[in-house]
Amino acid sequence: MSSRLPHALALTIACTGCHGKGVPSSVGATPSASVAVKPIDRLAPDELAEGSGSVWGFVLPREMYIEHRYDNITHVRGHVKADALANYVRDRVVVSHVEIGAARTIFPDARIKGGDPERVYEFDVIPEPGSTHLEIRDATPLKVEPGLTDAERWRQAGLTPDGRPIDMKKFE
């Protein structure tokens, strides 16, 4: 019994030393204030992380890739939830309203935060089986230069006056 006494005494001292000592609480802190703080190094459930790719200054989520890129539209695809992608887009664009439907979520007349304020885009979030498709369309209206004839305006658009392309390779 005498050999157990030092161990029991050490255990008792260790337990009483830890009792009552914990993480100090803030005086007057409310539970809602501590819950509202989001850790810097963690993502919320279904929150998408920024990746390294971008389209017209819009940084794409890490889980998505550019499928096709054209002059005025880019198709992006990834294995993400459609509502998570819609929330990701909502946080990164300035838009007056969002059109939410059963087949897609549309962000019309959107401007990319930190992007060119003169450019207008349309973002379409389209859920598909097994993936989500994002269409980013440059919807910036063309500036009309005063004093041009109709033929000059057609030529500026890359078309002949009867609406045919001047350079077919440009439209491929």
Residue 13 placed within a domain: no
Token reading at 159: 């078309």
d(CA 63, CA 74): 16
Answer yes or no: do 153 and 93 share one domain.
no
d(CA 66, CA 74): 7
Residue 36, pLDDT > 80, answer no
Percent of the chain, pLDDT > 90? 48
Average pLDDT value over all residues in the chain? 81
Q: What is the per-residue pLDDT for 15?
A: 54
- HSE-up (13 A, CA, CB side) for residue 130: 0
Percent of the chain, pLDDT > 70? 74
Higher-pLDDT residue of 59, 160: 59
Residue 147, pLDDT > 60, answer yes
Answer yes or no: do 117 and 166 share one domain.
no
| Report for 12-16, 17-21, 105-109: range of highest mean pLDDT | 105-109
Q: What is the per-residue pLDDT for 81?
A: 94
Mean pLDDT for 55-82 is 95
| Radius of gyration for the chain, computed over Cα atoms and rounded to the nearest angstrom | 29
Q: What is the per-residue pLDDT for 106?
A: 97
What is the domain count for the chain?
2
Answer yes or no: do 69 and 109 share one domain.
yes
Q: What is the per-residue pLDDT for 4?
A: 60
Mean pLDDT for 137-160 is 85
Mean pLDDT for 84-102 is 94
Residue 14 placed within a domain: no
Answer yes or no: do 106 and 120 share one domain.
yes
Tokens 């440009």 belong to 170
Three-state DSSP state, 87: helix
Answer yes or no: do 129 and 57 share one domain.
yes
Contact predicate 105/124, CB 8 Å: yes
Q: Which domain holds residue 168?
A: 144-172
Residue 57, pLDDT > 90, answer yes
Mean pLDDT for 113-121 is 93
Rounded to two decimals, the pTM is 0.64
Q: What is the per-residue pLDDT for 27?
A: 47
